[in-house]
Amino acid sequence: MIRQLPTLALVSGLALTLAACGGKKPVVLEKPPETTQPQAPAPAPAPVVQEAPPPPVTKSTLPGSQEDLRETAGTDTVLFSYDSYELDDAAKAILTRHAAWLRANPGVRITLEGHCDERGTREYNLALGDRRANSAKNFLAAQGIDVARLSTISYGKERPAVEGADEAAWAQNRRAVTMVMSR
C-alpha cells in the first residue's frame, strides 16, 4: 500500500486538475505568435505621375522649303544600286513621303536631280543620272503629283555627295535628290 500512495496521490491530483478546468473552453489561437523579428513595413507605392502632353511642335523652317521637305519626309534623297535606276522599297517609301509633302504644298515646284558615282564615262553617267531622275519623277507622277510641277536634270558624276573611291562613298553618290525650286 505504501507503493500505491504516490500513484494514488498523483491520479487524484490529476483528477482534481481536470475537474477544475472542465468548465472552461480551451483557448485556440488563430495565428501563432511571431517568434521572429518584426518586419519593416512595406514601402509605400510610388506616386503615379501623369506626364504632361508634349508641347506643340513648332517648326523652325519655312513651310514649303527644302528644310521643310527634309524634316517632313526625313530626307530629300533616294539611293540606287550600282548601274541601276530601279527604285527599291526604301526609295519608294521616301518618294511616297515626298508625294504627301508635295500634296500639302501645292504651290511648290521641284527638280529631281540624277547623280552617279565616279565610275563610268561622263556620257554614260549623264544618261544614267537622267534615268534615275526620271524614275523618281515617274513615281511621283504615279502618286498623283502634276508633272507640270516636276522637272529633271542629270549631273552624272560631276557633283558627288561624298568624296572617295570606295563602295561606301559610291553608294552615297548613286542618288536622286528632290530639290525645291519655287513656291
41 has pLDDT over 90:
no
The CA distances from residue 26 to 17, 92, 98, 135, 183, in Å, are: 14, 86, 87, 96, 97
Report, as an integer, the average pLDDT of 36-63.
Answer: 60
Range in 10-19, 122-131, 138-147, 168-177 the model is least confident about: 10-19
pLDDT for the residue numbered 43: 62
Q: Note the pLDDT tens digit of each residue in 145-178.
A: 999 999 999 999 999 999 999 999 999 999 999 9
pLDDT for the residue numbered 138: 98
Place of cell 553618290: 173
pLDDT for the residue numbered 61: 82
Domains belonging to the chain, first-starting first, are 66-182 (3.30.1330.60)
pLDDT for the residue numbered 182: 72
pLDDT for the residue numbered 47: 53
Q: How far apart are CA 119 and CA 92, in angstroms?
A: 25
76 pLDDT tier (thresholds 50, 70, 90)? very high
**Residue 152 near residue 114, CB atoms below 8 Å:** yes
Measured on CA atoms in the order 142, 143, 149, 151, is the torsion positive or negative?
negative
